[in-house]
Amino acid sequence: MAAPSVMFGTGFPGAVRRITTLWAMFGGLVLFAVVSINMFSVIGGIFGHPFPGDFELTEMGVAVAAFAFLPYCQSMGANVTADIFTAGMRPGLIALLTLLGSLVALAFAGLLIWRMYLGMLDQKTYDYTTAILQIPIWYAYVPVLISLALLALAALASVLENLSGKTQGDGAHV
């Protein structure tokens, strides 16, 4: 196994990659829990005892997991790209487009943090809960906001790497 500094890089971008990797693992555990709940609900339904509120936990868990993967994708340079359009471009132009993409990701993360935070405050203020289990909906916003903060950090690390000419993703960290 390669040394952590080779796998993740060093400095601020390397630290962000380590954190976002751990956070993505948390997202994977949440997704595993959602699948397990659904499996037990289906098996329980066969015997007349389904898991009550399974769809509520599924909705919340899938949202939390999906957001948990976003910072990892950004920090590893694994977001969706349109390679078909950039295949014939000069490396300098590709680097500029990569920098612009990182700046857009940073701005988008900031916008989402702002709006999700306000949404969480509304959910908490009006005491919205799930229908069956009565779980406060704002609970799911907390890990989502953490994910978005990590996305902003990952985008910032990407911008810094782009400006310094260092690459990201696929272990090509310098």
Rounded to two decimals, the pTM is 0.88
Residue 173: per-residue pLDDT:
37
- pLDDT of 161 higher than 50: yes
What mean pLDDT is reported for the chain? 91
Residues 106 and 159: beta-carbon distance below 8 Å: yes
The answer, yes or no, to whether residue 140 has pLDDT greater than 80, is yes
Domain ranges of the chain: 4-164
Note the pLDDT of residue 88.
87
* Secondary structure, 3-state, the chain: CCCHHHHHCCHHHHHHHHHHHHHHHHHHHHHHHHHHHHHHHHHHHHCCCCCCCHHHHHHHHHHHHHHHHHHHHHHCCCCCCCHHHHCCCCHHHHHHHHHHHHHHHHHHHHHHHHHHHHHHHHHHHCCCECCCCCCECHHHHHHHHHHHHHHHHHHHHHHHHHHHCCCCCCCCCC
Q: Over the stretch 99-129, which tens digit does the pLDDT of each residue have?
A: 999 999 999 999 999 999 999 999 999 999 9
Q: What percent of the chain has pLDDT over 70?
A: 91
Tokens 């015997």 correspond to what residue? 47
pLDDT at 156: 98
